[in-house]
Structure formats: structure tokens, C-alpha cells
């Protein structure tokens, strides 16, 4: 079956008791046991819940995977995926990563005895140069946040397997509609379901998707023991979002491409970072690795931070907000918001200059978004 059919039907079959075509919300913390020696499939919702199981099945199917696990947030999913490392292990990560992941690396894993090297050269050779004998995991974001860099997942997976290293890919920006990292050799895929999978800015959640049974057992055990699981209503909201994922992603991409082309010609803009543009340094790789380029758009303004402050203050349709992937368009300053906790020196090292603007392009009419953006960019 095709993607949109799977998104609507598989994992979300009609309720066998009532015939409801919408999968029920099982708002129960516990389930009756048969007797002292036997329990049904579900007995306590931290361990398993029917609504969560339906979501996890859907997530696995959309990533063409065997196993899906749902979590209470994207960072909870990230922390769960990182249970594959132990004190003394080493991680190689891209240098352009989500601030929440950076905090996990620096504030949680380093004190635990895990070392991290950030590949400043994000080519395959750049990652390979960072590998040590104790390297256990390579962590990728592709496209990355906020610079929308593309990593060659297949080439890095070959290099990782050669060295006995696992590959984890944060696939949040692309979504399963535009990219399947497991098919390129990755071992673990992570999502913030808060973003495109939920799609309506009304739920917080995360997911880990994978094929390997032993890895699944490790992360599943962590899920049950640590308990950072989503409630059934949150699972239901993400399942609702999955049903329209194809339609939304295509419209996000169409609007983003329209605005990227517009911005590339604008005299107030220094640079546009969007994988769908031929000017993007990894455009050809993105075309090979992805089936579309997504709805995230980053650009640099002439005039530095004052120009950014002027832009966000004049925009009407773009809300100044920290998240992304919803139906509404959002704008953020990476230097002041998503990476604001880093020092100026650290941000510059990561390519995050003060004049960067990150936009999550929503589903409004492209002409209305264009008019709002051009109006905000025009001289005061």
C-alpha cells in the first residue's frame, strides 16, 4: 500500500467492539488481570496502552520499520535512543543540532562519562575523522537545525558498519513522508512528534523507530522503566495528525519553495538555506536521499540582529515562537531563541550568526505569506 493509505488505515483499524472508524482513547491507568498468574496484553499503562500501541504501530509502518516506540516529548525520545551508549563510550555528532539535544549531550551524558565530538566538517570524511576506538554512536540531524545541512546517511552508515558503530538519525525536519533513514542504513530514527507528525501545535511527543530486535528491547525496557510515555490523548492527537501527513507535507514544501525563491532574489537577504534550491551546497545529495525538501527555511539578513528584530516585529502572519511543523507559519531567531543558551563564541563556531532567521512555513495561502514577508522586509 502507498504512504497515505498506510497513514490512514494501518495501525488505526476500526474498533472491533463498537465499529468506530476512529481508534478509541483508552483513558485507563490500569487493566483487570485474569487471575494471579495471568494478565492480558495490557495491565498497566506505563508498560503498555492500546492507544499508544496503535500509534507505535503506525509510526513503524510509516518509516518502513519493525518497531515503533512513543515518548512524552522529542527529548525524551532522544534520551531513550541514547540508552545504547554507556560510560566510557564516545559519540560523534553533527555540529549543527537542536539545542535540546546539545543540552542532553553536555549536561547529562558528559557527567555520566560519555564523551562527544562534534564534526565541524559534516562531510562523510569529516565524521570519519572523529571516530575513535570507543565510538559507539554517530548522531545525525538531516536536515539539521537550524542550518538545514544534509548528511549522507548511506555513506555514513557504510562507514559506521565498517567500524561497528550505530547510526541514529533525527528525522523530525523531513518526516517519514520525505525521508526513510532506515532504508539508507541507519539503525535508529528519532522524531519529535510535536512537529510535523502531530502537525497542529497541540501536542507534545516523541518517537523512536527501528528494525533491530535487540535495540528495540533495550529502548523498550528503558521506556517502561523511566516512564516518559505519552498519555492516550496525546497518542490519539498524533494519530490524527498522521492521517493528513502527506497532504500537509506537500503544501509545507510548496510554500517553502515559493518563499525560498522569493528570498533568494531579495536585496535585504544575504543568504538563503533551503535544500530545494540549487544554491544549497548539498542540493544534489538532498535530491538523491529525500523525496522532498520539507517546510523549514533559514536565511541570513543583511544588517545583523537589528534587521532580524525589525523583521520579526513587523510580521503579521508569522508568529514569533519556538516550535515548528504546525499548520501555522512561525518565525524564530536561532541566536536569541533555540540556541540562545549557547555563548556567542559557541554559536559562531556552529555557524549560527546573529542575522539568521528560521521559519517554519505553514499552510496559509502562499500569496498571503509572500505579502506579509515582503511587507516586513521593506524599508520602514
**Catalytic (active site) residue 170:** yes
Identify the active-site residue in 89, 96, 152, 170: 170
Query: What is the Cα–Cα distance from 173 to 192, expressed in whole angstroms?
Result: 9
**Catalytic (active site) residue 98:** yes
- Report residue 50: phi and psi, to 5°: -60, -40
205 and 58 Cβ atoms separated by less than 8 Å:
no
- For cell 525524551, what's the residue? 76
Is the backbone of residue 268 left (phi > 0), alpha (psi -120 to 50) or beta?
alpha
Longest dimension (CA), the chain: 75
| Among the listed residues 139, 162, 161, the one whose alpha carbon sits nearest the alpha carbon of residue 151 | 139
Considering just the CA atoms, what is the radius of gyration of the chain in Å?
21
Query: What is the Cα–Cα distance from 274 to 256, expressed in whole angstroms?
Result: 8
Identify the active-site residue in 52, 149, 195, 347: 195
**Catalytic (active site) residue 96:** no
Query: What is the Cα–Cα distance from 48 to 230, expressed in whole angstroms?
Result: 11
Q: What is the DSSP letter of 23?
A: P
Q: Cite the DSSP H helix spans in the chain.
A: 3-8, 50-62, 74-81, 99-103, 110-112, 124-128, 153-162, 175-178, 213-226, 232-242, 245-264, 283-289, 304-314, 344-349, 366-377
Q: Which residues pair with 210 in a beta bridge?
A: 67, 188
Identify the active-site residue in 52, 89, 98, 154: 98
Strand order in the sheet with 296-301: 269-273, 296-301, 356-360, 330-332, 319-320
Identify the active-site residue in 46, 66, 250, 336: 46
- For cell 468506530, what's the residue? 20
Which residues are known to be catalytic?
46, 98, 170, 195
Amino acid at each position: 500500500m502507498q504512504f497515505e493509505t498506510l497513514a490512514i488505515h494501518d495501525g488505526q483499524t476500526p474498533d472491533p467492539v463498537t465499529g468506530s472508524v476512529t481508534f478509541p482513547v483508552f483513558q485507563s491507568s490500569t487493566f483487570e488481570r485474569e487471575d494471579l498468574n495471568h494478565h492480558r496484553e495490557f495491565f498497566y499503562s506505563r508498560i503498555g496502552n492500546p492507544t499508544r500501541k496503535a500509534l507505535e504501530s503506525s509510526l513503524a509502518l510509516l518509516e518502513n520499520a519493525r518497531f515503533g516506540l512513543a515518548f512524552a516529548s522529542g527529548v525524551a525520545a532522544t534520551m531513550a535512543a541514547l540508552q545504547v551508549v554507556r560510560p566510557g563510550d564516545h559519540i560523534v555528532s553533527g555540529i549543527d543540532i537542536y539545542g535540546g539535544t546539545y543540552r542532553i549531550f553536555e549536561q547529562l551524558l558528559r557527567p555520566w562519562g560519555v564523551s562527544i565530538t562534534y564534526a565541524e566538517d559534516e562531510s562523510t570524511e569529516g565524521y570519519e575523522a572523529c571516530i575513535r576506538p570507543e565510538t559507539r554512536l554517530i548522531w545525525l540531524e538531516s536536515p539539521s537545525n537550524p542550518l538545514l545541512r544534509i548528511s549522507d546517511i548511506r555513506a555514513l552508515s557504510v562507514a559506521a558498519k565498517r567500524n561497528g558503530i550505530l547510526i541514529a538519525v533525527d528525522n523530525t525536519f523531513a518526516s517519514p513522508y520525505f525521508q526513510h533513514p532506515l532504508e539508507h542504513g541507519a539503525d535508529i530514527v528519532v522524531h519529535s512528534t510535536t512537529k510535523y507528525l502531530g502537525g497542529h501545535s497541540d501536542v507534545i511527543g516523541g518517537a523512536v523507530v527501528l528494525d533491530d530486535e535487540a535495540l528495540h528491547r533495550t529502548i523498550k525496557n528503558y521506556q517502561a522503566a523511566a516512564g516518559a510515555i505519552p498519555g492516550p490523548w496525546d497518542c490519539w492527537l498524533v494519530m490524527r495528525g498522521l492521517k493528513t501527513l502527506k497532504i500537509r507535507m506537500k503544501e509545507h514544501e510548496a510554500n517553502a519553495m515559493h518563499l525560498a525563491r522569493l528570498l533568494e532574489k531579495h536585496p535585504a537577504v544575504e543568504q538563503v538555506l533551503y535544500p530545494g534550491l540549487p544554491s544549497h551546497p548539498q542540493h544534489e545529495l538532498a535530491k538523491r536521499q529525500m523525496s522532498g525538501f520539507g517546510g523549514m527555511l533559514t536565511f541570513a539578513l543583511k544588517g545583523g540582529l537589528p534587521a532580524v528584530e525589525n523583521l520579526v516585529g513587523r510580521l503579521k502572519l508569522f508568529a514569533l515562537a519556538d516550535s515548528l511543523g504546525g499548520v501555522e507559519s512561525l518565525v524564530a531567531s536561532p541566536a536569541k531563541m533555540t540556541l540562545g543558551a549557547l555563548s556567542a563564541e559557541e554559536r559562531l563556531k556552529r555557524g549560527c550568526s546573529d542575522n539568521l532567521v528560521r521559519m517554519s512555513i505553514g499552510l496559509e495561502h502562499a500569496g498571503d505569506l509572500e505579502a506579509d514577508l515582503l511587507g516586513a522586509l521593506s524599508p520602514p
